[in-house]
Structure 1
C-alpha cells in the first residue's frame, strides 16, 4: 500500500494556491501525513520584462509593478496556508523571496509526493493559450 507521509504543496499564489493546498491536505488526511507548503515566487508576469523593448526610464516602473504583483501573490499563498494547511499537525510554510526551482527540487527530494496547482487556473499562466494556438484546440476551461 502506498504511504504518503511527507507531502509538498507548491503555490505561486493566485488561484493555484488554494487548489494545491486543498489537495495536499486531503492526501495528508488519507495517509496520516503532513504537509510542507512552499510559496514559489514567479516573475515577471508572463515574461513581461524580457519580451518588451523599453527605455531605461520605463524599467523601474515595470519592476515596481511586478514587485507589487509578487507581494500580492505571496500574501494569497500565506492566506491559503493559514486557512487550509496550518491546522494539519506538523504543517510547515516556506516563503522566501529567493525561493527558486532549485528550492522546489531540494524540498521535493525529501517529500513522498509533490502537489502542484492545475495549469490554466491562473490567468497569468499563458501556457494553455499557447497550447491552444499551436494545436488549434480550444483552451481548457
Structure 2
C-alpha cells in the first residue's frame, strides 16, 4: 500500500492485517488524502473490547456526512469494530482551525495509516496553533484567549 505507515500496532497481528485490508478498500473506493487512526488504539491505551477510531479525509465523497459514515462502515468486510468518520479536506481543515476536539485530538495523538505527508502538514498547522496559546491539559483543550498582535479573539 502506498504511503502506508507500517509501524502502527493496534493489538494483534491479525487486527493489523484486517485494518490494512480495510484501508486498502477505503483507498480503492474513496482515493483519500489521508487515513488517521485516533483514540485509544492510537494512544496505546486500548483494551480488547476497544473500537478502532478512524478518520478518512477525501475529496471524493459524494454524499452527506451520515451517508459517508454508512459507506465507510459498509466496506468493512472484517469483524473489526471500526468506527469511521469521513470528511473532505476543507471540512477537516476548518474543524482544526475552529478548535473542534475531534480534529485537535486526531492530529495531536493520532497516527497516519495513509497519507503521512499530509498528516505531517496538519501536525505543523497544529504546532503553529499551539504557539498562539492553544494547549492540551490533562483532560481538556485550552483555547487561546486572544491574538496578541491584533487583539482579535481566536475563539
- What TM-score range do you get, normalising by the shorter chain? under 0.3
Q: Normalising by structure 2, report the TM-score.
A: 0.24
Q: Normalising by structure 1, report the TM-score.
A: 0.26
Q: Which structure: greater helix fraction?
A: 1
Instruction: Pick the structure with greater CA Rg.
Output: 1
Which structure's relative contact order is higher, taking Cα pairs within 8 Å and 6+ residues apart?
1
